[in-house]
Amino acid sequence: MKELPAGRSLFLLFSTFFKIALFVVGGGLAMLPVIEDVFVRKYKLLSSEDMLDMIVITQTVPGLIAVNSAVFVGNKVAGFLGALVALIGVLIPSVVIIMIIAAFFPYLDSQNPVVQAVFGGIRACISGVFIVTACRLFSRVIHNPIDFVLSFLFLTGILCNVSPALIILCAMPIGCLYVFILRKKQATLTPDSEKKEA
């Protein structure tokens, strides 16, 4: 991974999260492709594993996904100051926009065909962004048949209206058990391979 000068890193964090909060529509998940494009692909300040860690943490830690993502990325790139700068960058547009919307929303006619068409287009666009993000993550997370089966089971649970919190709570012990079995299996295979080399 590359390292940028401190001033440039802070400016990059602030400007990127400022633009994300200003232009990206669809909440925290919609911003993931932009974060990946800027910090992983373009500047190589984060690895793909860092992105996966960020997604897991932002989904499990209480709070807004956008705020959690900004703090995580900022801390990874430039430490505490980076987290603070990224947080300020993502909060300023969000606060201003929500205040403007709150001021004018009562006067907005939700039955207006133009308004409905705009919202419909936004919903379709956001759905596409979610699908692309899910496909990218799927190819990086699924490494063996067990991962595939677990993903399928949890997806089925979500489609059957099972609480996401319950699904996450079930996933944690299953993941721990899987890693424990995998490490135990590797530990039993290691002595055999060392004996053959001897």
| CB-based contact 74:86 (threshold 8 Å) | yes
Q: Cα(121)–Cα(1) distance, rounded to whole angstroms?
A: 37
Least confident range from 8-12, 34-38, 123-127: namely 123-127
Pair 82, 101 in one domain: yes
Phi/psi of residue 122, nearest 5 degrees: -65, -45
The arithmetic mean of pLDDT across residues 146-171, rounded, is 81
Considering 141, 160, 187, which residue would you say is the last residue of a domain?
141
Pair 9, 19 in one domain: yes
pTM over 0.85: no
In one-letter notation, the amino acid at residue 5 is: P
Pair 71, 150 in one domain: no
For residue 91, give its domain range. Answer: 1-141
The pair of structure tokens assigned to 161 is 């209206």
Given this model, what pLDDT does residue 26 score? 67
User: What tens digit of pLDDT does each residue of 24-83 get?
Assistant: 776 677 788 888 889 988 898 998 888 888 888 887 788 888 899 999 999 999 999 999
Considering 116, 141, 166, which residue would you say is the last residue of a domain?
141
User: What tens digit of pLDDT does each residue of 11-33 get?
Assistant: 999 999 999 888 877 667 778 88
HSE of 63 in the Cβ direction (CA atoms, 13 Å)? 12
Number of domains in the chain: 2
Which of 167, 124, 143, 122 is CA-nearest to residue 48? Answer: 143
| Alpha helices, DSSP H, located in the chain | 6-23, 32-35, 48-60, 65-104, 113-141, 145-159, 164-197
| CB-based contact 17:90 (threshold 8 Å) | yes
Pair 178, 101 in one domain: no
Pair 48, 123 in one domain: yes
Pair 110, 153 in one domain: no
